[in-house]
């Protein structure tokens, strides 16, 4: 009798263990299914378009947008190829939409209006190398993601990360590749030369009486930024309007000692010569714009900027009233 009881208990214990294992397996399966439905830790490939030949987007709320074309690996504005573009921004747009991934796929969506897709916030068109165009519609935010459809299809509806929107939120001024400014400060500025109306004034760091003016000039240069654009490629007529034609402009030529860091970035071979050499940087200052800024152009550049008049007064050395 005792032996039978032990056998029965043993059998029941075995059945209990099997049931526990089945329960754990089912729970694990359900957890994986829930995770897949929520889109967590998973990526759904939406497009694989390869290299694009053109890309355009429209902000439907404002009716504005931009269109780009690629030729020989370089992106251009479709309607104005003279505008120099910072390629990294357009490459980010291409990489995002040519190989778009989603965090969730809704195969049986509700009405498109429930996702803001009946009147999308953005419309994007990406054309591949064979001329095939894929159209994306971006709708409302879904927590940290956005709803999206492809080629105006009713289904499926996807959710994509906010990067699909953030890569579109740049104005043209941001996308333009600006002129670089060399590192010039009080420690390496050698001379500053200003030419206006045929008259040239020169300040030198070797002249102790001009040291304060040199410091003011260096400070003005250090505070100057070339970010706000007035023209992307100024015509002769615009240069005259801006006071940047040769007869009207003020020419600023800064001669400076090349730093070691500049030398290391240079493609030139003899670093010792570079360390001991000097370079020049030339700017043209135009007229007042009427809003506390002046028009500025870098020599050999077609871009025209707006720079604070107060900053430019320091650059001209007139921020220091003790110097003539």
**CA 296 to CA 308: how far, in whole Å?**
10
pLDDT (tens digit per residue) in 9-28? 556 556 666 565 666 555 55
Residue 273 — pLDDT band, cuts 50, 70, 90? very low
pLDDT for the residue numbered 19: 63
pLDDT for the residue numbered 314: 96
Give the H/E segment covering residue 256: strand 250-257
Indicate whether 146 pLDDT > 60: yes
Indicate whether 112 pLDDT > 70: yes
Buried b (16+ CB within 10 A) or exposed e, 254-283: bbbbbbeebbeeeeeeeeeebeeeeeebeb
The answer to whether residues 157 and 148 touch, using CB atoms and an 8 Å cutoff, is yes
pLDDT (tens digit per residue) in 195-228? 999 999 999 999 999 999 999 999 999 999 999 9
Residue 36 — pLDDT band, cuts 50, 70, 90? very low
Is pTM beyond 0.85? Reply is no
Indicate whether 34 pLDDT > 50: no
**CA 155 to CA 109: how far, in whole Å?**
7
Residue 38 — pLDDT band, cuts 50, 70, 90? very low
Indicate whether 102 pLDDT > 80: yes
| DSSP secondary structure, 29-96, as one string | HHHHHHHHHHTTT--EE-----SEEEEEEEETTTTEEEEEEEETTEEEETTBTTS-B-HHHHHHHHHH
**CA 47 to CA 136: how far, in whole Å?**
10
**By percentage, how much of the chain surpasses pLDDT 70?**
80
Residue 154 — pLDDT band, cuts 50, 70, 90? confident
Residues in the chain: 324
Query: What's the rounded mean pLDDT across residues 279-294?
Result: 97
pLDDT for the residue numbered 15: 67
Kindly give, in sequence order, each residue whose CB lies less than 8 Å from that of residue 73, ignoring residues fewer than 6 positions away. none
pLDDT for the residue numbered 277: 84
Indicate whether 272 pLDDT > 50: no
**CA 287 to CA 28: how far, in whole Å?**
72
């Amino acid at each position: 009798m005792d032996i039978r009881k032990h056998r029965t208990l043993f059998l029941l214990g075995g059945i209990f263990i099997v049931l526990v294992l089945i329960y754990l397996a089912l729970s694990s399966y359900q957890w994986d299914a829930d995770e897949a439905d929520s889109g967590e830790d998973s990526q759904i490939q939406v497009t694989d378009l390869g290299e694009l030949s053109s890309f355009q987007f429209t902000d439907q709320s404002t009716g504005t947008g931009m269109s780009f074309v690629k030729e020989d690996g370089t992106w251009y504005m479709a309607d104005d190829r003279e505008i120099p573009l910072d390629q990294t921004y357009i490459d980010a747009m291409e990489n995002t939409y040519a190989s778009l991934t989603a965090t969730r796929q809704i195969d049986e969506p509700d009405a498109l209006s429930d996702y803001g897709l009946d009147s999308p916030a953005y419309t994007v068109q990406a054309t591949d190398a064979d001329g095939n165009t894929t159209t994306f519609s971006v709708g409302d935010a879904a927590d940290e993601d956005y709803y999206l459809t492809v080629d105006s299809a009713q289904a499926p509806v996807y959710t994509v990360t906010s990067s699909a929107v953030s890569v579109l939120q740049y104005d043209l001024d941001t996308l333009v590749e600006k002129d670089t400014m060399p590192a010039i400060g009080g420690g390496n500025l050698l001379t500053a030369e200003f030419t206006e109306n045929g008259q040239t004034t020169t300040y030198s760091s070797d002249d102790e009486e001009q040291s304060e003016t040199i410091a003011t000039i260096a400070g003005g240069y250090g505070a100057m930024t070339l970010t706000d654009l007035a023209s992307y490629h100024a015509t002769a007529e615009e240069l005259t309007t801006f006071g940047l034609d040769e007869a009207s402009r003020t020419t600023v030529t800064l001669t400076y000692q090349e730093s070691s860091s500049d030398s290391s970035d240079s493609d030139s071979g003899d670093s010792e010569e570079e360390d001991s050499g000097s370079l020049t940087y030339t700017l043209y200052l135009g007229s007042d714009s009427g809003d506390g800024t002046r028009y500025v152009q870098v020599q050999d550049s077609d871009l025209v900027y707006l720079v604070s008049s107060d900053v430019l007064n320091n650059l001209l050395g007139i921020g220091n009233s003790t110097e003539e």
